Amino acid sequence: MKKIVSMLCAFLGLFMIGFTVQPSSTAQASEKTYVIDTDVTFPPFVYANEDNKYVGIDMDLIRAIAKEEGFKIKIRPVGFNAAVQSVSSGQADGVIAGMSITDERKAKFDFSDPYYSSGIVMGVKPNGDFKSLKDLKGKKVAVKTGTSGADYANSIKDKYGFKVVTFDDSDNMYNDVKNGNSAGCFEDSAVLAYGVKTGLGLKIATKSTNIGDYGFAVKKGHNKELMKMFNEGLAKLKKNGEYDKIIERYTGEKATHAKKEKAANSHTIIGLLKENGGVIVSGLFETIKLTVISIICATLFGILIGFLGVVPNKIAQGVSGAVIYIFRGLPLIVLALFIYNGIPSLTGSKIPAFVAGVITLMLNEGAYIAAFVKGGIEAVDSGQMEAARSLGLPFGKAMRKVVLPQGIKIMIPSFINQFIITLKDTSILSVIGLLELTQTGKIIIARNLEGFRVWTIVAVIYLVLITVLTLLSKWVERRIKD
């Protein structure tokens, strides 16, 4: 019992010390490099180009300002909602993602001088019969989480009698309209105008309203030096003409026409694979790495917690039961956001996204493993333990020599099945910005808006991986039976 408890404490201590505490020397070494989070589905402000490099108005601006002012940046494409939460929790130093400056946001963020102005417009199907907002009565309207378009839609929905449907990314929002599920979508005028010019398949149906300014944001009261450098750099770019060149680069007629031409030539499965093969392989490798490391950690964690549930000690059994109950009961996405954003906001210590992902899967999948480890041991006839103890064997030796060999045969199929579930669950971690296979798919779609074809490629890759694991599980089961 003491050995098991000591192992558990050491295991948990490794994660707490090694992952949640950031050494001061590391912070000092990288004090001139700022972590900047951004959206990945917001062209022409942020998107991945044909070389899968993050470009757009926001990206060129922040890079030009960093160069002008002499500081370094690390761009993390995590999505708008995740970016805002990361800055709020201290996981990132700033966010630039076409973020509108509003009074509500000023309560939590400090904003830079405005670098762009845009309003809200509504996009509808080109062949629809939409004439005015009054036509929306009794219908659904699509919006994107946390955006000004969503705020505007919610402010007028009661007046015009429509329902709001919320999506996490632009592609799903646009597709909901194109598929006829929603009557229209509210989006920033600059973004929707760019999409229409580059073959989005929607049209702008309303005049621009709620004109607002975009700004670079940091957590309120923090990173004052970074904010000062951004404002000074922006002023210099406007003065020397570089700002105007950046805007023209992504909104001018040449830019939108060229993008439309390239898109027309790559909208096939083969074309998408040729153009994005490297980044898809990179996302696949990240998924496999995340899965393997998480499975190892979850297995160790699950076995320890499972054993605690069968030792003859009520405290140990209570701890085991509580851990299984809590981490099986929490939705994976809630657990991921709590670890990645909640804990840092409470402790002030940053947790890398990959580490947060591993911890999330370790706790969630480990709880399920603990449950079937406990169940597998308990499924062995209790007379086996009693007989071993009556022969003079101590509890630990009786468990190791008599009960476990029988219990393992019961557990193995569940272990393999949990490995498959872990592989699939890695896709949920795109919510904290991990560039695994699902997040990679979102980034590709943000550029070419080919959701069906890209998700088909991603789905086939997942099916191949799951098929391999399934065949492996059947092979292991046959070996055990033999």
CA pair distance 54, 441, nearest whole angstrom: 14
The number of beta carbons lying within 10 Å of the beta carbon of residue 413 is 15
How is residue 196 written in tokens? 């229409």
Q: Are strands 33-38 and 72-77 parallel, antiparallel or unpaired?
A: parallel
Q: Where do the CATH 1.10.3720.10 domains begin and end in the chain?
A: 269-481
Cis previous bond, 77, omega within 30: no
Query: Could you tell me which residues come within 8 angstroms of residue 81 by beta carbon, excluding any fewer than 6 positions away?
Result: 145, 146, 168
Q: Where do the CATH 3.40.190.10 domains begin and end in the chain?
A: 33-115+215-240+249-264, 117-213
CA pair distance 249, 262, nearest whole angstrom: 16
DSSP state of 52: S
What is the three-class DSSP state of 286? helix
Rounded (10°) CA dihedral 438, 439, 441, 444: 180
Note the pLDDT of residue 5: 45
Query: In the CATH scheme, what architecture does the domain 117-213 have?
Result: 3-Layer(aba) Sandwich (3.40)
CA pair distance 466, 482, nearest whole angstrom: 24
CA pair distance 100, 211, nearest whole angstrom: 10
Note the pLDDT of residue 406: 66
Note the pLDDT of residue 225: 94
Record the pTM: 0.73
- Summarised one tens digit per residue, pLDDT across range 296-351 is 999 899 888 988 888 888 999 899 999 999 999 999 999 999 999 888 888 878 88
Residue spans of the chain under pLDDT 50: 1-2, 4-5, 8-9, 11-12, 14-30, 261, 264-265
Query: Could you tell me which residues come within 8 angstroms of residue 146 by beta carbon, excluding any fewer than 6 positions away?
Result: 80, 81, 84
**411 phi-psi bin (left φ>0, alpha ψ -120 to 50, beta other):** alpha
Query: In the CATH scheme, what architecture does the domain 269-481 have?
Result: Orthogonal Bundle (1.10)
Q: For 33-115+215-240+249-264, which CATH class?
A: alpha beta
Note the pLDDT of residue 325: 94
| Spatial contact of 171 and 197, defined as CB atoms under 8 Å apart | no
- Summarised one tens digit per residue, pLDDT across range 254-288 is 665 555 545 544 567 887 888 788 888 988 999 99
Query: Could you tell me which residues come within 8 angstroms of residue 344 by beta carbon, excluding any fewer than 6 positions away?
Result: 89, 90, 91, 350, 351
DSSP state of 436: S
CA pair distance 385, 403, nearest whole angstrom: 7
Q: Of 278, 230, 276, 257, nearest to 113 (Cα)?
A: 230
Note the pLDDT of residue 404: 66
For residue 75, count CB atoms less than 10 angstroms from its CB and return exposed for 0-12, middle for 13-18, buried for 19 or more.
Answer: middle
| Spatial contact of 86 and 78, defined as CB atoms under 8 Å apart | yes
**φ, ψ dihedrals at 36, nearest 5°:** -115, 120
How is residue 234 written in tokens? 């922006």
Query: First CA to last CA across the chain, in angstroms?
Result: 34
CA pair distance 199, 116, nearest whole angstrom: 23
Rounded (10°) CA dihedral 335, 338, 340, 345: -170
